[in-house]
Amino acid sequence: MKKITGLLMLLLIITLSPSVFGADSSNSALSPDDSTSFTKIYVDGFSVNSNGFKLILRTYERHQEIHFKPFLADIEYIIMTEGRVIYSEKVEQITLSAGSGGEIVLDHHGHVALEAGKNYTGMAKIYIYDQGTPEYYLAESSNFTARNDADITEVYGDSIGASATIKSKSMVPLDAKIIFNLKQDGRVIETKEIAAPSIMSNDKEKTVNILWSDNLKEGTYMVSVRLEGNDITVNHDKVFTVEKRAASTAARSTTQPANSSGHSVPGFTLISVILSIFALTLIRRWRR
Give the pLDDT confidence of 199-233 residue by residue, as tens digits. Answer: 999 999 999 999 999 999 999 999 999 999 999 99
Give the pLDDT confidence of 112-150 residue by residue, as tens digits. Answer: 999 999 999 999 999 988 777 888 889 999 999 999 999
Name the residue with higher pLDDT: 76 or 245. 76
**Within a domain: 208:** yes
CA distance 239 to 237: 7
CATH number of 170's domain: 2.60.40.10
Domain count for the chain, please give it: 2
CA distance 272 to 265: 12
Question: Residue 281's pLDDT is what?
Answer: 57
| Final residue of a structural domain among 128, 145, 162 | 145
Q: What is the mean pLDDT of residues 249-259?
A: 45
| pLDDT over 50 at 256, yes or no | no
Class of residue 191 by CB neighbours under 10 A (exposed 0-12, middle 13-18, buried 19+): exposed
**Within a domain: 264:** no
**Within a domain: 255:** no
Q: What predicted TM-score, i.e. pTM, was given to this entire model? A: 0.66
**Within a domain: 254:** no
- In this structure, the answer to whether residues 76 and 167 fall within a common structural domain is no
Beta strand extents in 101-249 (DSSP E only): 103-108, 119-130, 133-145, 150-157, 161-168, 176-184, 187-195, 206-211, 219-229, 233-242
135 beta partners: 128
Question: Residue 13's pLDDT is what?
Answer: 38
Question: Residue 224's pLDDT is what?
Answer: 98
**Within a domain: 213:** yes
| pLDDT over 70 at 183, yes or no | yes
Cβ proximity of 132 and 11 under 8 Å = no
Question: Residue 87's pLDDT is what?
Answer: 97
Question: Residue 114's pLDDT is what?
Answer: 97
Q: What range does the domain containing 102 cover?
A: 24-145
- pLDDT-based confidence at residue 107 (cuts at 50, 70, 90): very high
- In this structure, the answer to whether residues 35 and 140 fall within a common structural domain is yes
- In this structure, the answer to whether residues 140 and 174 fall within a common structural domain is no
**Within a domain: 272:** no
- Across the chain, mean pLDDT equals 78
- In this structure, the answer to whether residues 137 and 197 fall within a common structural domain is no
Cβ proximity of 178 and 208 under 8 Å = yes
- In this structure, the answer to whether residues 141 and 155 fall within a common structural domain is no
CA distance 116 to 243: 45
Question: Residue 258's pLDDT is what?
Answer: 47
**Within a domain: 13:** no
Number of helical H runs and strand E runs in the chain: 2, 17
**Within a domain: 156:** yes
